[in-house]
Structure 1
Amino acid sequence: MNTYKSLIIISALAFTSCGTFQNASEDTAVPKNTTTQATLWVQNSAEYKALAFQTYNTALRTISLPLEDSFWTASINQKESEDYMSLPPAIILDIDETVLDNSPFQARMIKQNKSFNIEDWNAWVNEANASAVPGAVEFTNYAHEQGVKIFYISNRGYEVEEATRENLIAEGFPVSETMDNIMSNGEEPGWTSSKIQRRQLVENNYRVIMIFGDDLNDFFPAKDINQQKRADLVKQYSENFGRRWFIFPNPVYGSWEDALYDFEDDLTESEKNAIIKKKLNSKN
């Protein structure tokens, strides 16, 4: 009789434990979002911080070279002419994931089971609460102290430029009080997400000695260009990286992902999954 009662008690406890485990697993389940691992890496890995410091430290050690060499330019357009040599030096930087870290926004989207949308994005930007990418403040201020003009060319919309300015100033970045050195998407006619016209405006007035970004479009036109052509262009301009061009890792989003799907916007999830499986190179 005692043995029978014991078996009943043990069975009841086991059933209760299983129920508790199941509920706990549901409560603590990791959101099913393709950017979860990438966002965790940006926010938690020491390696990401090391790469950011490495990039800006390399630029810091290199900057004396272009300041002493009037032939030096980071612009592929200026290389076609010698008119730039007498122009004052300038540096062009992207903002998002180059000088400001927006991983908290992505973390919110993951926790809320949302995809990127402009309303939530602008609300985040208007908080003016993004932190500086490691090494960015120190480098830009050093360059500014050397007499280099700093330009931020961003695809943030013009409607959030004032909040962006507040954020940059709060983080300690050099922001001009006498000229607009934050060039936003849509701020002027023809200023589109390609950044071509905005770069040209800087190139017309300054010798661009360094460019910083997290996407190939921050350095040269790469919109709607397939993966092979993008790889060919990187090889063509390979000597620029680490000297004139400085690129940051961004596994969360970017034109690299659009290129993965050949810039098709209307693919189903099953079609995307088929492409992903095909793109995963297992060497067999």
Structure 2
Amino acid sequence: MSKFLPALVGALVLCGCASHAPHSFAPTPATTTGSVPNPAAMPTAPADDNLNAVAWTQTALEHDLIYLETYRSAQSQLLAALKDNHWDALSPDDRAAPYPGLKPAVILDIDETVLDNSPYQARLIRHGGEYNEADWARWCKEERARALPGAVAFTQFAARHGIAVIYISNRSQDLDRATIDNLLKAGLPVAGPDAFLGLGTLLRGCDQIGTEKHCRRQLVSQRYRVLMQFGDQLGDFVSVLDNTDTGRAQAMTPYLGWIGKRWFVLPNPTYGAWEPALFHNAWSTPRDQRRQLKIQSLRTD
């Protein structure tokens, strides 16, 4: 929040006219004559599907306010959930052991939930590239991702009240140390290495399916009663084995009553399972064809 609010307050004081929306200003009439530029003759840059998404993530005050609102709302409900011995935020599929008597915990995803990786996305846009594991690992090892608004205050509040803070992430296990160090640098509490369950964490008797977090949630369920879960993807809350519009809706529908109470969903327009669902989950499809399929998915009515 600190990157926006001082500038916002200053702007309101100087102009004294905060009610004017940017689009309410009429353009200044031209004082020179000349031909109107032909749009077809003007140079154009190739479209990048992620440009607006990353620009919004990095510059829009609305982005930060949504995060702050979400974490503040969760914090205001956390102690009531702690006192309710029948309160559990794991689905029946993920609850592998009875929760009465277990210590309380909250589960949070990391990327775009507590840490902001938009600089990595911005680099891809500037260089015209796409996600790849080598560049992603290099970014993670820089340990420069900042905490997202509200995340530090919420997790520290939970820790002060004896609630374990558990991070379940699809960062690979070889990024464990860099990830934990980044979390600590950003001010997020990490009780120890067991507080971070990266991709590759195994649970005996549970079959790992792709990058699904089901087995890791089951692992947490053996030790904790989970009060809340936070994430930017449906898979941070429930297994989605059919990544289609129908499959995603069916996976989430039974838990709609939990949204904003036990499950807190954060916005991520820059990447996620929602995107490949638009082109049949086939990343091998050429980039321009993937873009056309995404355009075809748009509604015009």
TM range (shorter): 0.7 to 0.9
Q: Deviations over 1:87-109 (max 9, x none)?
A: 11111100000000000010011
Partner of residue 175, structure 2: 160
Q: Deviations over 1:12-46 (max 9, x none)?
A: xx9xxx9xxx9xx87xx766321111000000000
Superposed, 1:1-284 pairs within 5 Å as 32-77=47-92, 83-177=98-192, 180-188=194-202, 193-269=211-287, 271-283=289-301
Question: Structure 1 residues 30 and 208 mapped into 2: Cα distance closer, same or farther (>3 Å)?
Answer: farther
Number of equivalent positions: 259
Unaligned regions of 5+ residues in structure 2, if any? Answer: 1-33
Paired with 1:199 and 1:182, the residues of 2 have a C-alpha distance of: 12
Paired with 1:233 and 1:137, the residues of 2 have a C-alpha distance of: 30
Relative to structure 2, which stretch is displaced further, 262-271 or 244-253? 262-271
CA deviation after TM superposition for structure 1 residue 268, in Å: 3.4
Unaligned regions of 5+ residues in structure 1, if any? Answer: 1-13
Q: Are the equivalent residues in 1 in contact too, given 2:95–2:218 (CA < 8 A)?
A: no
Question: Structure 1 residues 273 and 32 mapped into 2: Cα distance closer, same or farther (>3 Å)?
Answer: closer
Q: Are the equivalent residues in 1 in contact too, given 2:94–2:214 (CA < 8 A)?
A: no
Q: Are the equivalent residues in 1 in contact too, given 2:238–2:251 (CA < 8 A)?
A: no
Partner of residue 8, structure 1: none
CA deviation after TM superposition for structure 1 residue 276, in Å: 2.2
Q: Deviations over 1:119-164 (max 9, x none)?
A: 1100000000000010000000000111101100111111111111
What SS does the aligned partner of 1:83 have?
A: coil
CA deviation after TM superposition for structure 1 residue 77, in Å: 2.2
What SS does the aligned partner of 1:163 have?
A: helix
Paired with 2:148 and 2:170, the residues of 1 have a C-alpha distance of: 17
CA deviation after TM superposition for structure 1 residue 235, in Å: 2.8
Tell me how large the CA RMSD over aligned residues is.
2.3
CA deviation after TM superposition for structure 1 residue 82, in Å: 8.3
CA deviation after TM superposition for structure 1 residue 227, in Å: 0.7
Question: Structure 1 residues 50 and 31 mapped into 2: Cα distance closer, same or farther (>3 Å)?
Answer: farther
CA deviation after TM superposition for structure 1 residue 70, in Å: 0.7
Q: Are the equivalent residues in 1 in contact too, given 2:229–2:263 (CA < 8 A)?
A: yes
Partner of residue 5, structure 2: none
Partner of residue 3, structure 1: none
Q: Deviations over 1:160-219 (max 9, x none)?
A: 111111111111111114x52111112447665211111100001100110000000000
Paired with 2:175 and 2:72, the residues of 1 have a C-alpha distance of: 30
Paired with 1:222 and 1:78, the residues of 2 have a C-alpha distance of: 12
1:168 maps to amino acid: L
Question: Structure 1 residues 271 and 251 mapped into 2: Cα distance closer, same or farther (>3 Å)?
Answer: same
Q: Are the equivalent residues in 2 in contact too, given 1:33–1:110 (CA < 8 A)?
A: yes
What SS does the aligned partner of 1:154 have?
A: strand
Q: Are the equivalent residues in 1 in contact too, given 2:106–2:229 (CA < 8 A)?
A: yes
Bigger Rg, structure 1 or 2: 1
| Higher helix fraction (1 or 2) | 1
